[in-house]
């Protein structure tokens, strides 16, 4: 179905145009029946549909349609698998079509600045490149089914505390390299139908009315063509927002902001052409979902449930596996302990909460395994109360006795619902005391103790050295229990990698002193040193590094080759490595490529940054060459002096391995790029001038300094330059006698110099 947009804009009344700029209710846009403009429905959906049955009220999962809950974003990112992310998007797109959803509200790609952020379970990674690449694949998948997405929350929404009003103070370089990069990659690679602006202020201006954020950067720099909508209730000043480039306010404001728009046009505050352009983009967005495609009346929920189980298995991370205790044998007596074994925590709380049509627990899934393996016996014990936070001495004693009598014990533990959810941040990184006590008590009597974690963010592990294996399922969706059993007993070989670092302590985190701010402002003082960029640059120990994840087989990564020894930044350079499965089990390895700048730049740049990754599936003994293409931006940082991306010339290291801390091979590449143009400022030093090759302009100053400060010796120019190196050019008058005219002429020559 096509809309005659020019005709519609000409015939819509001012009031109708204003009305199209906000929702009709919580989930629908307004229709204009007399002109054939339909209402469309949006729905939460980062990892499953949450279509509301009653749109007149605030969302409540108990009034949602039954749907499939896939692993949350925190888990999905650990797949490091673009094709899997695209497939998840395709399944969600199919489900949305079946429910007549026009646009899904997701993916959520904010950077994990602190492990305390209450919504981290929805977010993908601490690394913007990984988040952007996976997000783009997800978007391609959803939109291939002619369903839109709303990439959120744009931008710098990295905490829940005061999220509606806090002012995030982020310097330009950090903003570009860390907090906008995933959005930039997503827009350039997948052209999402919509962006969702965040609640918070950014550098003093609400995101909903920030022209730089909404127009200058995405539209003018990145070429974004879709619409920008608010998060629910994120509007501040409606007229300012339209001028800044925000098209759609959600949900309805009951006509309040519609009237503001009408008044602004009538009194000349808002140009009618700005409103017309806003309406045009809204109509173009509505039209995207009206294409005539084969109708989907229903979808196979059981098939999608099975797919969700496979996805959860692909995302799970084997953190530890001493003595190769895993996979467990399908025989003997094994104790399953902990309430999450019977009632898993598989998703987070808040707007992304899905009313799952079924949930498979580990106890249920292992029952099927026992039925087919007569020598296998599983006993279940709760160990603590079902809420996951309450100690029960009798249950604890019962669990310990069961563990002691078994050949192995598997504890299903983690963060309960009350510990992490949208609308509030965590106060600490600890699991409930009763769970830590349970693990330690079981490990004290059972040497073969395995821990299975269910949580959306890193936790402390005081018992880490007391257990033999740790399997991290994150929040693995409604089939997480089945996926855990698949891995525990070897039907699936784990291949997930950590998409975020796991520090030992909260105090180790880069923003510890600046999170979550004072309630009015939060300063991103750590700059670009977020996650592994911080830990690796400081050579600081972490519990588990970014990119870490074990397998039931072994891999070798080596024989690195670079297509060129010199690179001028034009085109691309190819890097290849050989990956081989040197074990006895089929499995997948995630090959990770990092760029490390030359030593001089390490004062201002992280030690290494992820710039490539590929998940490679190999049979035992199989070897494959994996290749990466690097371009100018793979080596660039955002230079605020020129307001653009820039690559400093010099030698860079190309590091390849299977985590940020396990680099197995490296190569060097010389970048023959141009230095940043010389820009004279009042803080320019003598050293700056020589570093930029402009020393000849200030040689008269060097000569005068020698003549006036070295009476008995005649040192060479290098010694004099070293003595003067930190002097600002305009401050040399404090150390040498020079006429105003002569110094002014030197400064003028520096300003003209290119």
Architecture of domain 555-671: Sandwich (2.60)
DSSP string, 531-555: THHHHHHTT---SB-TT--B-SS-E
Q: Do residues 170 and 203 lie in contact, with contact meaning Cβ atoms separated by under 8 Å?
A: yes
Residue 59 scores a pLDDT above 60: no
746 Cβ contact list (under 8 Å, min separation 6): 697, 698, 700, 701, 729
| pLDDT at position 61 | 44
Residues 149 and 193: beta-carbon distance below 8 Å:
yes
Q: Which one has a higher pLDDT value, 694 or 71?
A: 71
The half-sphere exposure of 653 on its side-chain side, counting CA atoms within 13 A, is 19
Residue 514's pLDDT band (cuts 50, 70, 90): very high
743 or 121: which leads in pLDDT: 121
- pLDDT tens column, 405-419: 999 999 999 999 999
Whether the Cβ atoms of residue 328 and residue 335 lie closer than 8 Å to each other = no
pLDDT at position 426 is 97
Q: What is the pLDDT at residue 468?
A: 98
Number of H helices, E strands in the chain: 21, 25
User: pLDDT for 318-336, tens place per residue?
Assistant: 999 999 999 999 999 999 9
pLDDT reading at 60 higher than 70: no
Sign of CA dihedral 107, 113, 117, 120: positive
Q: Respond yes or no: is residue 167 known to be catalytic.
A: no
- Judge whether 445 and 181 are in contact, CB under 8 Å: no
DSSP reduced 3-state for 409: strand
Give CA separation, 180 vs 153, 155, 214, 653, 688, in Å.
10, 7, 12, 25, 30
Q: Per-residue pLDDT averaged across 593-609, rounded? A: 91
Length reported for the chain: 754
Question: Using one digit for the tens of pLDDT, what is the confidence trace for 393-446?
Answer: 999 999 999 999 999 999 999 999 999 999 999 999 999 999 999 999 999 999
Is 50 exceeded by the pLDDT of residue 57? no
Chain centroid offset of residue 266 CA: 43
| Percent of the chain residues past pLDDT 70, beyond the cut | 98
- For residue 41, the 8-state DSSP code is B
Mean pLDDT rounded to a whole number for the chain: 95
Mean pLDDT of the region 526-555: 98
Give the CA distances from residue 217 to residues 175, 206, 249, in Å, rounded to whole numbers and listed in that order.
11, 16, 20
Q: Which fold has domain 309-518?
A: Rossmann fold (3.40.50)
pTM for this model (two decimals): 0.95
Separation of CA 548 from chain center: 17
Instruction: Provide the pLDDT confidence category of residue 281 given band limits of 50, 70 and 90.
Output: very high
| pLDDT at residue 253 greater than cutoff 70 | yes
Domain 5-288 CATH superfamily: Glycoside hydrolase, family 3, N-terminal domain (3.20.20.300)
Cβ(639)–Cβ(647) under 8 Å? no
Q: Is the pLDDT assigned to residue 64 strictly greater than 50?
A: yes
Measured on CA atoms in the order 467, 471, 476, 479, is the torsion positive or negative? negative
Q: Which of 379, 380, 341, 378 is nearest to 362 (CA)?
A: 341
Q: Are 141 and 92 in contact (CB under 8 A)?
A: yes
Neighbours of 699 (CB within 10 A): 12
Can you say whether residue 692 is alpha, beta or left, with left for phi > 0 and alpha for psi between -120 and 50 degrees? alpha
Using the predicted structure, report yes or no on whether residue 384 has a pLDDT greater than 70: yes
Q: CA-CA distances (angstroms) from residue 27 to 22, 103, 210, 249? A: 11, 10, 25, 11
In what order do the strands lie in the sheet containing 317-321?
317-321, 469-472, 449-454, 408-414, 332-337, 376-381
Q: Tens of pLDDT along 461-507?
A: 999 999 999 999 999 999 999 999 999 999 999 999 999 999 999 99
- Close Cβ partners of 341 (under 8 Å, ≥ 6 residues apart): 361, 362, 363, 380, 410, 412, 452, 481
Question: Mean pLDDT throughout 57-81?
Answer: 84
- Whole-angstrom distance, CA of residue 636 vs CA of residue 709: 42
Selected catalytic residue, list 231, 425, 472, 536: 231
- Residue 674's nearest CA partner among 698, 646, 702 is 646
pLDDT digits (tens, 9 = 90+) for 126-164: 999 999 999 999 999 999 999 999 999 999 999 999 999
Tokens standing for residue 655? 């590091």
**Domain map of the chain by residue range?**
5-288, 309-518, 555-671, 686-752
HEC readout, 434-501: HHHHHHHHHHHHCCCEEEEEECCCCCCCCCHHHCCEEEECCCCCCCHHHHHHHHHCCCCCCCCCCCCC
Q: Does residue 88 contact residue 42 with C-beta atoms inside 8 Å?
A: no
pLDDT mean over 92-111: 97
């Amino acid at each position: 179905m096509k809309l005659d947009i020019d005709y519609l804009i000409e015939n819509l009344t001012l009031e109708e145009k204003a009305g199209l700029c906000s929702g009709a209710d919580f989930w629908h846009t307004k229709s204009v029946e007399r002109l054939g403009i339909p209402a469309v429905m949006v729905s939460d959906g980062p990892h499953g549909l949450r279509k509301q049955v009653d749109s007149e009220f605030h969302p409540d999962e108990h009034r949602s349609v039954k749907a499939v809950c896939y692993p949350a974003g925190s888990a999905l990112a650990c797949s490091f698998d673009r094709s899997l992310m695209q497939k998840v998007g395709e399944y969600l797109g199919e489900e949305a079509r079946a429910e007549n959803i026009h646009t899904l509200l997701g993916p959520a790609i904010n950077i994990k600045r602190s492990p305390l952020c209450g919504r981290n379970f929805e977010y993908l990674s601490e690394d913007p490149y990984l988040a952007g690449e996976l997000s783009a694949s997800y978007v391609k998948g959803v939109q291939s089914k002619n369903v839109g997405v709303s990439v959120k929350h744009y931008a710098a929404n990295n905490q829940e505390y005061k999220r509606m009003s806090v002012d995030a103070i982020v310097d330009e370089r950090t903003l570009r390299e860390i907090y906008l990069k995933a959005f930039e990659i997503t827009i350039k690679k997948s052209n999402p139908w919509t962006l969702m602006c965040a609640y918070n202020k950014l550098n003093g201006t609400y995101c909903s009315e920030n022209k730089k954020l909404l127009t200058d950067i995405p539209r003018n720099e990145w070429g974004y063509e879709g619409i920008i909508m608010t998060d629910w209730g994120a509007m501040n000043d409606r007229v300012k927002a339209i001028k800044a480039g925000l098209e759609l306010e959600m949900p309805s404001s009951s006509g309040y902001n519609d009237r503001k728009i009408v008044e602004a046009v009538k009194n000349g505050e808002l140009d009618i052409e700005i409103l017309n352009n806003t309406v045009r983009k809204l109509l173009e967005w509505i039209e995207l979902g009206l294409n005539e495609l084969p109708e989907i009346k229903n979808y196979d929920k059981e098939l999608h449930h099975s797919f969700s189980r496979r996805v959860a298995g692909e995302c799970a991370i084997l953190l530890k596996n001493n003595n190769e205790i895993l996979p467990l044998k399908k025989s003997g007596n094994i104790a399953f302990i902990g309430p999450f074994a019977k009632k898993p925590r598989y998703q987070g709380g808040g707007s992304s909460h899905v009313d799952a049509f079924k949930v498979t627990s580990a106890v249920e899934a292992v029952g099927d395994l026992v039925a087919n393996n007569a020598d296998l016996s599983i006993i279940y014990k709760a160990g603590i109360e079902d809420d996951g936070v309450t100690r029960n001495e009798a249950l604890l004693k019962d669990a310990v006795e069961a563990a002691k009598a078994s050949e192995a014990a598997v504890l299903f533990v983690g963060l309960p619902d009350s510990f992490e959810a949208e609308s509030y941040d965590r106060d600490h990184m600890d699991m409930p005391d009763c769970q830590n006590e349970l693990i330690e008590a079981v490990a004290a009597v059972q040497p073969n103790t395995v821990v299975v974690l269910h949580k959306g963010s890193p936790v402390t592990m005081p018992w880490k050295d007391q257990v033999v294996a740790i399997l991290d399922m994150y929040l693995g969706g409604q089939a997480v229990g089945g996926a855990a059993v698949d891995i525990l007993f070897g039907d699936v070989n784990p291949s997930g990698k950590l998409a975020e670092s796991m520090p030992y302590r909260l105090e180790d985190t880069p923003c510890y002193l600046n999170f979550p701010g004072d309630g009015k402002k939060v300063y991103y003082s750590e700059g670009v040193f977020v996650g592994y960029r911080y830990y690796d640059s400081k050579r600081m120990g972490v519990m588990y590094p970014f990119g870490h994840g074990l397998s039931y087989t072994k891999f070798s990564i080596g024989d690195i080759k670079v297509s060129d020894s010199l690179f001028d930044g034009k085109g691309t350079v190819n890097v290849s490595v050989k990956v081989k499965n040197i074990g006895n089990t089929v499995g997948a390895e995630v090959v990770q490529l990092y760029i490390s700048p030359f030593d001089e730049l390490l004062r201002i740049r992280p030690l290494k940054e992820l710039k490539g990754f590929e998940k490679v599936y190999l049979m035992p003994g199989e070897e494959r060459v994996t290749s990466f293409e690097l371009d100018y931006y793979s080596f660039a940082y955002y230079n605020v002096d020129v307001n653009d991306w820039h690559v400093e010339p010099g030698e860079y290291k190309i590091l390849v391995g299977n985590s940020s801390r396990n680099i197995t091979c490296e190569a060097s590449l010389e970048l023959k790029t141009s230095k940043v143009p010389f820009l004279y400022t009042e803080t320019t030093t003598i050293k700056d001038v020589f570093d930029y090759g402009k020393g000849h302009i200030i040689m008269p100053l060097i000569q005068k300094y020698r003549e006036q400060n070295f009476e008995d010796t005649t040192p060479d120019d290098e010694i004099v330059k070293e003595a003067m190196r930190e002097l600002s050019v305009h401050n040399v008058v404090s150390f040498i006698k020079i006429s105003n005219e002569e110094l002014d002429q030197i400064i003028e020559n520096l300003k003209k110099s290119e």
